[in-house]
Amino acid sequence: MDHGPDLIITELRAPDSVRGGDPFTATVKVCNQGSAAAFPQSGGTFLQVYLSTTSTQEVPAPNAPPSTQQVTVGEVDVGPLEVQQCVTRAVLANAQTPSGQPGTAFYLGASIDTGQSVTELDETNNGFVHGLMGVGLGPDLVVSEVHTPASVRLGAGFLADVRVCNVGTMPSSSTEAKIYLSTLDTLSLPTPGSPAATQVPVGTVPVPVLEAGECLTVRTQAFAEPPPAATQPEQPLYVGAIIDPDQQRPELREDNNTRVAGRLGVGLGPDLVVTDLTGPANVSPGRPFSGSVKVCNVGTDRAMDVRADVLLSTEASLSSSQVPGSQTESFVAQAQAPGLDAGRCVTLPVSGISYPPSAFQPGAPLYLGARVDGMQSVPELRDDNNTFTKGTVGEGHGPDLVVRSMKGPGNLPDSPSFLIEARVCNVGTESLSGSAYLELFLATEAAVTIPPSSGPYPMQTQAPLGGENVSYLPAGQCQTVAVNAYRTLPTGAQPGQPLYLGAAIDSIRSVQELNEDNNTFIQG
């Protein structure tokens, strides 16, 4: 079968922990990524939420005895879904664990259409496993954030901020968090009597009692001492933290007590990074380019020279050093500064002429990026962080219409009509010579779905409010369009459900644009 619906789950949200037997709400997003609408042949299209002892999902067979590894804790009918439509459903569940299974941590998952009432292109992708959920009475301490300087001199002290949360169901006892340096990008809980050579504690901070659901940021001073396994001068080091490292406090889960913040530069030297890049949304061959690049020195010593290249690339990530004769990237402009002190940033203007790389094919993604010290002429603490990709840009000659902002009432008025203003911009390389239709929507989802030309219309997740034509709009210009909107609720809206105000410009594609995937806008 090459034509049909295909239901998948893309998101599952729920509390980190819940008391056994208590109700909880799981929020699940289901999408139809197929080529036809998903209508059940009989009954409904049911979404099931379950708890399991394993991360491998079991699809129950018809009339089979209940599984001892997995139990369904809630379900809801999602209704029919149109092509490329997504719906978010709140599932009221009850924290029942699989019969006879001990423990306080179980895998939370969901499955759509387990009864196969919808004939799909792919029947093997209907499941989604969120991860472990704590079930029972007890605390559950996690490290949610670790903040340190990007670089520190060897042996020097540095401040570390650690945010600790109790995501369990009971208050925690007082404990401690330890800061670690590691040669690996993961941390392991210490084993008494056999410390790991790959990691070393470099600081300790006490953590007081935390109520269930409470978070606290604690600060301590640590010292940059490498672990025994760090035997190479330029070996990468990572910084992180472990809460209750000695496992002296019983928790619902013991597998989530570590967090690695990322790389830490250790030594004496500069470390240049690009933190921002501005430029046009679209380019065309031979067209002048102007923008800016922001370079920071997050190292421990002054950089004597700063050179940043702005590039167009067919790849989403750039190589850390310049590749002579590269077919996948093209040079646009260079920004220079005579030097940059440690801890300082500078924003440099750039101007040049844009040409796509020789490997670029029309219609393929083209990325705007920058690389600092591409020749690696500045000895740095790190050379793996010298690139920055802003995102995709359009290429060619033509308009590109986007909705930048909307202004309307904060609450849906009782009157049958009301005024909404939308700001439409042409970020392309040529003027909009004709006209394009701007449509407004009220939606139950935080995204506007372009209605299929074949219908049905409206969809259950959004309702049209009205629209206006946008006429001649020069490249680089914006226009504020006033629309007299009519009060219409989506058919799938529930009482008291928050709704989103959205817009789509040229949804029927009457205008040939450089980009056709940036024509929608949504706001709460």
Residue pointed to by tokens 């646009």: 332
Tokens 């690696």 label which residue? 376
Of the residues 353, 379, 395, which one is the last residue of a structural domain?
395
The pLDDT of residue 415: 87
Same structural domain for residues 171 and 258? yes
Question: How many structural domains is the chain composed of?
Answer: 4
Q: Region 123-143: what's the mean pLDDT?
A: 96
**Shared-domain flag, residues 23 and 110:** yes
220 and 249 in a single domain? The answer is: yes
Pairing of strands 127-135, 17-18: parallel
User: Would 300 be classed as within a structural domain?
Assistant: yes
pLDDT average, residue stretch 166-172: 98
- Cβ–Cβ under 8 Å, residues 81 and 5: yes
Tell me: pLDDT of 342 over 60: yes
Name the residue among 318, 326, 317 with its Cα closest to residue 373. Answer: 318
Give the residue carrying structure tokens 């007590």.
Answer: 257
Per-residue pLDDT band for 453 (boundaries 50, 70, 90) equals: low
Cα-Cα-Cα-Cα torsion 133, 28, 51, 210, nearest 10 degrees, comes to 20
Cross-strand pairs, 163: 145, 217
Q: Which pLDDT does position 359 carry in this prediction?
A: 95
Residues 158 and 179 in one domain: yes
Domain-embedded: residue 471: yes
Q: Using pLDDT thresholds of 50, 70 and 90, give the confidence band for residue 60.
A: low
Q: Are residues 351 and 243 in the same domain?
A: no
Single-letter code of the amino acid located at 510 = S
180: enclosing H helix or E strand:
strand 175-182
* Calpha distance 99→66 (Å, rounded): 9
How far lies 261's CA from each of 11, 51, 99, 186, 366, in Å?
25, 30, 39, 10, 31
DSSP state string for 255-323: S--EEEEEE-EESSS--EEEEEEE--SEE-TTEEEEEEEEEEE-SSS-BS-EEEEEEEESSSS--SS--
Write the CA distances from 155 to 119, 225, 503, integer angstroms.
64, 6, 56
| 2 falls within a domain | no
Q: Is residue 1 part of a domain?
A: no
Q: For 379-429, how does the pLDDT look when each residue is reduced to its tens digit (9 = 90+)?
A: 999 999 999 999 999 999 999 999 999 998 888 888 889 999 999 999 999
Q: Is the pLDDT of residue 464 over 60?
A: yes
Q: Indicate whether 166 belongs to any domain.
A: yes
Q: Is residue 51 part of a domain?
A: yes
Q: Which residue, 335, 361, 395, sits at the end of a domain?
A: 395
What is the span of the domain harbouring residue 518?
Answer: 401-523
pLDDT digits (tens, 9 = 90+) for 189-248: 998 888 889 999 999 999 999 999 999 999 999 999 999 999 987 788 999 999 999 999
The alpha carbon of residue 467 and the mean position of all alpha carbons in its chain are separated, in whole angstroms, by: 31
Name the one residue in this structure whose structure tokens are 């149109």: 82
What pLDDT digit, counting tens, does each position of 95-115 carry?
Answer: 999 988 888 999 999 999 988
Q: Same domain for 152 and 240?
A: yes
Three-state SS for 202-260 is EEEEEECCCCCCCEEEEEEEEECCCCCCCCCCCCCCEEEEEECCCCCCCCCCCCCCEEE
CATH code of 432's domain: 2.60.40.10
Sheet holding 46-52, edge to edge: 17-18, 127-135, 105-112, 46-52, 70-77
Strands of 444-518, DSSP E: 462-470, 478-486, 500-505
Tokens representing residue 432 in the block: 């909009």
Q: Which of 446, 445, 472, 470 is nearest to 460 (CA)?
A: 445
Is pLDDT of 35 > 80? yes
Tokens describing residue 458: 């409206």
Using the predicted structure, report yes or no on whether residue 23 has a pLDDT greater than 90.
yes
Rounded to two decimals, the pTM is 0.88
57: in domain: yes
State yes or no: cis peptide before 458, omega within 30 of 0: yes
248 and 294, same structural domain?
A: no
Contact at 8 Å (CB) between 190 and 196? Answer: yes
Of 266, 300, 330, the one marking the end of a domain is 266
Per residue in 438-452, pLDDT (tens digit) is 999 999 989 888 866
Answer yes or no: is 446 within a domain. Answer: yes
Is 245:203 a contact under the CB 8 Å cutoff?
A: no
What b/e readout covers 131-150, taking b as 16+ CB neighbours within 10 angstroms?
ebbbbbebbbbbbeebebbb
What lies within 8 Å, CB to CB, of 448 at 6+ separation is: 441, 462, 502, 503, 504, 520, 521, 522
If asked whether residues 11 and 43 sit together in one domain, one would say yes
| Spatial separation of the C-alpha atoms in residues 55 and 131, rounded to whole Å | 7
* Whether 420 and 360 share a structural domain: no
For 354-383, write each residue's pLDDT tens digit.
999 999 998 899 999 999 999 999 999 999
Residues 425 and 381 in one domain: no
Same domain, 289 and 190: no
